[in-house]
Amino acid sequence: MAVRSAILNVMVGAAEKASRTMKRDFGEVENLQVSRKGTNDFVTIADTRTEKTLQYELAKARPAFGFIMEESGVIEGEDPNRTWIIDPIDGTTNFIHGIPHFAISIALQEHGELVAALVYAPVFDEMFLAEKGQGATYNNRRLRVSSRTELSDCVLATGIPHLGRGDHEAYLPQLTSVMEATAGVRRFGSAALDLAYVAAGRFDGFWETGLQSWDVAAGILLVREAGGFVTEINGKGEALGGESILAANPRLHQPLSNLLTGKKTERLRAR
Protein backbone atom coordinates (compact mmCIF):
# COMPACT_ATOMS: atom_id res chain seq x y z
CA MET A 1 0.00 0.00 0.00
CA ALA A 2 2.49 2.57 -1.16
CA VAL A 3 -0.07 5.33 -1.66
CA ARG A 4 -2.46 5.72 1.25
CA SER A 5 -6.13 6.25 0.36
CA ALA A 6 -7.89 9.52 1.17
CA ILE A 7 -9.96 7.93 3.93
CA LEU A 8 -6.92 6.42 5.66
CA ASN A 9 -5.19 9.81 5.45
CA VAL A 10 -8.15 11.38 7.23
CA MET A 11 -8.01 8.73 9.96
CA VAL A 12 -4.24 8.97 10.40
CA GLY A 13 -4.45 12.78 10.59
CA ALA A 14 -7.12 12.61 13.31
CA ALA A 15 -5.20 9.98 15.32
CA GLU A 16 -1.94 11.92 15.12
CA LYS A 17 -3.64 15.09 16.29
CA ALA A 18 -5.39 13.35 19.20
CA SER A 19 -2.27 11.43 20.21
CA ARG A 20 -0.31 14.62 20.91
CA THR A 21 -2.52 15.62 23.86
CA MET A 22 -2.96 12.00 24.82
CA LYS A 23 0.79 11.52 25.26
CA ARG A 24 0.96 14.72 27.31
CA ASP A 25 -1.91 13.47 29.46
CA PHE A 26 -0.17 10.11 29.90
CA GLY A 27 2.92 11.94 31.13
CA GLU A 28 0.72 13.70 33.69
CA VAL A 29 -0.61 10.36 34.96
CA GLU A 30 2.88 9.50 36.10
CA ASN A 31 2.89 12.64 38.28
CA LEU A 32 -0.59 11.83 39.59
CA GLN A 33 0.54 8.34 40.55
CA VAL A 34 2.29 9.95 43.48
CA SER A 35 -0.94 11.26 44.96
CA ARG A 36 -3.25 8.55 43.53
CA LYS A 37 -6.26 10.67 44.33
CA GLY A 38 -7.79 11.99 41.16
CA THR A 39 -6.06 9.66 38.71
CA ASN A 40 -9.32 8.11 37.54
CA ASP A 41 -11.03 11.48 37.09
CA PHE A 42 -8.05 12.76 35.20
CA VAL A 43 -8.08 9.76 32.86
CA THR A 44 -11.80 10.24 32.19
CA ILE A 45 -10.95 13.79 31.15
CA ALA A 46 -8.12 12.53 28.92
CA ASP A 47 -10.44 9.92 27.39
CA THR A 48 -13.13 12.50 26.62
CA ARG A 49 -10.62 15.02 25.30
CA THR A 50 -9.13 12.43 22.91
CA GLU A 51 -12.57 11.42 21.72
CA LYS A 52 -13.62 15.03 21.08
CA THR A 53 -10.47 15.70 19.03
CA LEU A 54 -11.05 12.55 16.95
CA GLN A 55 -14.70 13.47 16.43
CA TYR A 56 -13.85 17.05 15.46
CA GLU A 57 -11.13 16.04 12.98
CA LEU A 58 -13.16 13.25 11.38
CA ALA A 59 -16.31 15.38 11.12
CA LYS A 60 -14.29 18.19 9.53
CA ALA A 61 -13.18 15.83 6.76
CA ARG A 62 -16.43 13.80 6.42
CA PRO A 63 -19.27 15.98 7.83
CA ALA A 64 -22.13 13.58 7.01
CA PHE A 65 -20.83 10.45 8.76
CA GLY A 66 -22.28 9.27 12.08
CA PHE A 67 -20.40 8.10 15.19
CA ILE A 68 -20.45 5.27 17.72
CA MET A 69 -18.04 6.21 20.50
CA GLU A 70 -17.15 4.75 23.88
CA GLU A 71 -17.60 7.98 25.83
CA SER A 72 -20.29 9.89 23.89
CA GLY A 73 -22.36 6.99 22.55
CA VAL A 74 -24.22 7.19 19.24
CA ILE A 75 -24.34 10.36 17.16
CA GLU A 76 -26.45 9.93 14.05
CA GLY A 77 -25.05 11.40 10.85
CA GLU A 78 -26.81 12.82 7.82
CA ASP A 79 -25.57 9.76 5.96
CA PRO A 80 -27.19 6.77 7.70
CA ASN A 81 -24.88 4.32 5.91
CA ARG A 82 -21.50 5.57 7.12
CA THR A 83 -20.44 5.40 10.75
CA TRP A 84 -17.16 5.84 12.60
CA ILE A 85 -16.70 3.38 15.48
CA ILE A 86 -14.23 4.90 17.95
CA ASP A 87 -12.44 3.93 21.13
CA PRO A 88 -10.31 6.93 22.15
CA ILE A 89 -8.16 5.02 24.66
CA ASP A 90 -8.33 1.24 24.48
CA GLY A 91 -6.39 -0.06 27.46
CA THR A 92 -7.66 2.54 29.93
CA THR A 93 -6.58 0.50 32.95
CA ASN A 94 -3.02 0.46 31.59
CA PHE A 95 -3.19 4.23 31.02
CA ILE A 96 -4.33 4.78 34.62
CA HIS A 97 -1.44 2.66 35.91
CA GLY A 98 1.19 4.40 33.83
CA ILE A 99 1.64 1.34 31.57
CA PRO A 100 2.25 2.56 27.99
CA HIS A 101 0.29 -0.26 26.29
CA PHE A 102 -2.85 1.51 25.02
CA ALA A 103 -4.19 2.64 21.66
CA ILE A 104 -6.58 4.78 19.67
CA SER A 105 -8.99 2.64 17.66
CA ILE A 106 -10.98 3.99 14.70
CA ALA A 107 -13.08 1.94 12.29
CA LEU A 108 -15.32 3.03 9.44
CA GLN A 109 -18.45 1.04 8.77
CA GLU A 110 -20.25 1.43 5.42
CA HIS A 111 -23.63 -0.20 4.84
CA GLY A 112 -22.96 -2.40 7.87
CA GLU A 113 -19.54 -3.53 6.65
CA LEU A 114 -16.15 -2.61 8.11
CA VAL A 115 -14.21 -0.86 5.35
CA ALA A 116 -11.33 1.00 7.02
CA ALA A 117 -9.42 0.55 10.28
CA LEU A 118 -6.74 2.25 12.36
CA VAL A 119 -5.15 1.11 15.61
CA TYR A 120 -2.43 3.46 16.84
CA ALA A 121 -0.27 2.99 19.94
CA PRO A 122 1.04 6.54 20.48
CA VAL A 123 3.83 5.84 22.98
CA PHE A 124 5.42 3.25 20.67
CA ASP A 125 4.41 5.13 17.51
CA GLU A 126 3.00 1.91 16.06
CA MET A 127 0.38 2.49 13.36
CA PHE A 128 -1.73 -0.43 12.14
CA LEU A 129 -4.01 0.30 9.17
CA ALA A 130 -6.35 -1.69 6.96
CA GLU A 131 -8.78 -1.09 4.18
CA LYS A 132 -11.28 -3.63 2.91
CA GLY A 133 -9.83 -5.55 -0.02
CA GLN A 134 -6.53 -3.63 0.17
CA GLY A 135 -4.71 -5.52 2.92
CA ALA A 136 -3.30 -4.33 6.23
CA THR A 137 -0.10 -2.44 7.05
CA TYR A 138 2.14 -1.73 10.00
CA ASN A 139 4.13 1.50 9.74
CA ASN A 140 3.69 1.21 5.93
CA ARG A 141 4.80 -2.43 5.67
CA ARG A 142 2.33 -5.12 4.63
CA LEU A 143 0.97 -7.27 7.44
CA ARG A 144 0.31 -10.98 7.46
CA VAL A 145 -1.03 -13.21 10.23
CA SER A 146 1.35 -15.86 11.58
CA SER A 147 1.85 -19.09 9.67
CA ARG A 148 2.26 -21.34 12.71
CA THR A 149 0.17 -24.48 12.51
CA GLU A 150 1.01 -26.29 15.76
CA LEU A 151 -0.80 -25.11 18.86
CA SER A 152 2.26 -26.15 20.85
CA ASP A 153 4.27 -23.34 19.11
CA CYS A 154 1.62 -20.67 19.56
CA VAL A 155 1.35 -17.62 21.79
CA LEU A 156 -2.22 -16.53 22.45
CA ALA A 157 -3.59 -13.28 23.80
CA THR A 158 -6.68 -13.03 25.96
CA GLY A 159 -8.61 -10.75 28.26
CA ILE A 160 -9.19 -12.06 31.78
CA PRO A 161 -12.48 -11.06 33.42
CA HIS A 162 -11.94 -8.99 36.55
CA LEU A 163 -13.81 -7.46 39.47
CA GLY A 164 -17.38 -6.69 38.53
CA ARG A 165 -17.03 -7.94 35.00
CA GLY A 166 -17.50 -11.13 33.01
CA ASP A 167 -18.22 -14.74 33.86
CA HIS A 168 -15.21 -15.83 35.93
CA GLU A 169 -16.28 -19.46 36.19
CA ALA A 170 -16.87 -19.87 32.47
CA TYR A 171 -13.47 -18.31 31.71
CA LEU A 172 -11.29 -20.64 33.77
CA PRO A 173 -11.86 -23.85 31.74
CA GLN A 174 -11.02 -21.86 28.58
CA LEU A 175 -7.74 -20.70 30.07
CA THR A 176 -6.94 -24.19 31.36
CA SER A 177 -7.39 -25.76 27.90
CA VAL A 178 -5.30 -23.12 26.16
CA MET A 179 -2.46 -23.07 28.68
CA GLU A 180 -2.17 -26.85 28.50
CA ALA A 181 -1.93 -26.85 24.70
CA THR A 182 0.15 -23.79 23.77
CA ALA A 183 3.52 -22.09 24.24
CA GLY A 184 2.00 -19.32 26.35
CA VAL A 185 -0.82 -16.91 27.07
CA ARG A 186 -0.45 -13.12 27.32
CA ARG A 187 -2.87 -10.62 28.92
CA PHE A 188 -1.87 -7.11 27.87
CA GLY A 189 -5.14 -5.24 28.49
CA SER A 190 -6.02 -3.69 25.13
CA ALA A 191 -8.28 -5.70 22.83
CA ALA A 192 -7.57 -3.34 19.92
CA LEU A 193 -3.82 -3.96 20.22
CA ASP A 194 -4.30 -7.70 20.83
CA LEU A 195 -6.08 -7.89 17.47
CA ALA A 196 -3.48 -5.67 15.76
CA TYR A 197 -0.78 -8.03 17.10
CA VAL A 198 -2.67 -11.03 15.66
CA ALA A 199 -2.76 -9.20 12.31
CA ALA A 200 1.00 -8.65 12.64
CA GLY A 201 1.69 -12.32 13.42
CA ARG A 202 3.06 -11.45 16.88
CA PHE A 203 0.22 -13.35 18.52
CA ASP A 204 -1.14 -16.47 16.81
CA GLY A 205 -4.61 -15.87 18.20
CA PHE A 206 -6.77 -13.92 20.64
CA TRP A 207 -9.97 -14.61 22.51
CA GLU A 208 -12.10 -12.61 24.92
CA THR A 209 -15.73 -12.33 26.04
CA GLY A 210 -17.98 -9.35 26.71
CA LEU A 211 -16.31 -6.68 24.57
CA GLN A 212 -18.05 -3.74 22.90
CA SER A 213 -18.01 -2.84 19.21
CA TRP A 214 -15.53 0.02 19.74
CA ASP A 215 -13.01 -2.32 21.40
CA VAL A 216 -12.82 -4.62 18.37
CA ALA A 217 -14.19 -2.99 15.19
CA ALA A 218 -10.83 -1.76 13.82
CA GLY A 219 -8.98 -4.86 15.02
CA ILE A 220 -11.40 -7.21 13.26
CA LEU A 221 -10.74 -5.61 9.87
CA LEU A 222 -6.97 -5.59 10.54
CA VAL A 223 -6.97 -9.34 11.21
CA ARG A 224 -9.18 -10.16 8.21
CA GLU A 225 -7.11 -8.01 5.84
CA ALA A 226 -3.95 -9.68 7.16
CA GLY A 227 -5.43 -13.05 6.17
CA GLY A 228 -6.85 -14.18 9.53
CA PHE A 229 -10.29 -15.40 10.62
CA VAL A 230 -12.46 -13.65 13.22
CA THR A 231 -15.70 -15.08 14.63
CA GLU A 232 -17.26 -15.71 18.01
CA ILE A 233 -15.55 -18.36 20.16
CA ASN A 234 -17.88 -21.07 18.80
CA GLY A 235 -16.26 -20.59 15.38
CA LYS A 236 -19.42 -19.10 13.90
CA GLY A 237 -21.27 -15.85 14.28
CA GLU A 238 -20.32 -12.26 13.67
CA ALA A 239 -17.61 -11.07 16.03
CA LEU A 240 -18.71 -7.42 15.80
CA GLY A 241 -21.59 -7.06 18.24
CA GLY A 242 -21.20 -10.69 19.37
CA GLU A 243 -20.87 -12.05 22.90
CA SER A 244 -17.32 -13.21 22.34
CA ILE A 245 -14.45 -12.96 19.89
CA LEU A 246 -11.89 -15.42 18.55
CA ALA A 247 -9.25 -14.26 16.07
CA ALA A 248 -6.50 -16.47 14.68
CA ASN A 249 -4.64 -17.50 11.58
CA PRO A 250 -6.79 -19.68 9.28
CA ARG A 251 -5.08 -22.95 10.23
CA LEU A 252 -5.47 -22.44 13.98
CA HIS A 253 -8.92 -20.90 14.10
CA GLN A 254 -10.94 -24.14 14.17
CA PRO A 255 -8.59 -26.04 16.52
CA LEU A 256 -8.70 -23.06 18.90
CA SER A 257 -12.47 -22.88 18.72
CA ASN A 258 -12.62 -26.61 19.54
CA LEU A 259 -10.24 -26.13 22.44
CA LEU A 260 -12.15 -23.16 23.89
CA THR A 261 -15.55 -24.83 23.59
CA GLY A 262 -14.34 -28.12 25.07
CA LYS A 263 -14.43 -30.07 21.80
CA LYS A 264 -11.01 -31.66 22.08
CA THR A 265 -9.47 -32.94 18.87
CA GLU A 266 -8.47 -36.60 18.61
CA ARG A 267 -4.81 -35.68 18.69
CA LEU A 268 -5.07 -33.64 21.85
CA ARG A 269 -7.10 -36.32 23.56
CA ALA A 270 -4.50 -38.93 22.61
CA ARG A 271 -1.66 -37.04 24.34
**Residue 84 or 249 with smaller CB distance to Ca ion:** 84
Considering the candidates 51, 57, 70, 225, report the single residue annotated as catalytic.
70
- Report residue 129 CA to chain centroid gap: 12
DSSP bridge pairs for 66: 83
Beta-carbon contacts of 127 under 8 Å, excluding residues fewer than 6 positions away, are 12, 15, 118, 119, 120, 138, 139
Active site (annotated) includes residue 89: yes
165 belongs to the binding site for ligand 2AM (CB under 6 A):
yes
Considering the candidates 92, 137, 209, 231, report the single residue annotated as catalytic.
92
d(CA 216, CA 190): 10
Residue 51 binding partner per list Ca ion, ligand 2AM, none, with a CB distance cut-off of 5 to 8 Å that depends on partner kind: none
Active site (annotated) includes residue 83: no
Residue 213 binding partner per list Ca ion, ligand 2AM, none, with a CB distance cut-off of 5 to 8 Å that depends on partner kind: none
189 belongs to the binding site for ligand 2AM (CB under 6 A):
yes
Indicate the pairing of strand 113-121 with strand 126-131: antiparallel
Residue 211 binding partner per list ligand 2AM, Ca ion, none, with a CB distance cut-off of 5 to 8 Å that depends on partner kind: ligand 2AM
215 belongs to the binding site for ligand 2AM (CB under 6 A):
yes
Stretch that binds Ca ion, among 86-94, 115-123, 221-229, 260-268 (CB under 5 A): 86-94
**Residue 93 or 254 with smaller CB distance to Ca ion:** 93
Neighbours of 133 (CB within 10 A): 7
d(CA 160, CA 222): 22
d(CA 201, CA 148): 9
Considering the candidates 25, 51, 57, 215, report the single residue annotated as catalytic.
215
**Residue 85 or 259 with smaller CB distance to Ca ion:** 85
d(CA 136, CA 200): 9
Residue 225 binding partner per list Ca ion, ligand 2AM, none, with a CB distance cut-off of 5 to 8 Å that depends on partner kind: none
Question: Do residues 70 and 87 touch, judged by C-beta distance below 8 A?
Answer: yes
90 belongs to the binding site for ligand 2AM (CB under 6 A):
yes
Considering the candidates 47, 51, 90, 232, report the single residue annotated as catalytic.
90
Furthest CA-CA distance within the chain: 59
Q: What are the DSSP calls for 184-207, one per residue?
A: EEE--S-HHHHHHHHHTTSSSEEE
- The residues binding ligand 2AM (CB under 6 A) are 87, 90-93, 159, 165, 189-191, 208, 210-212, 215
- List contacts with Ca ion (CB under 5 A): 87, 90, 215
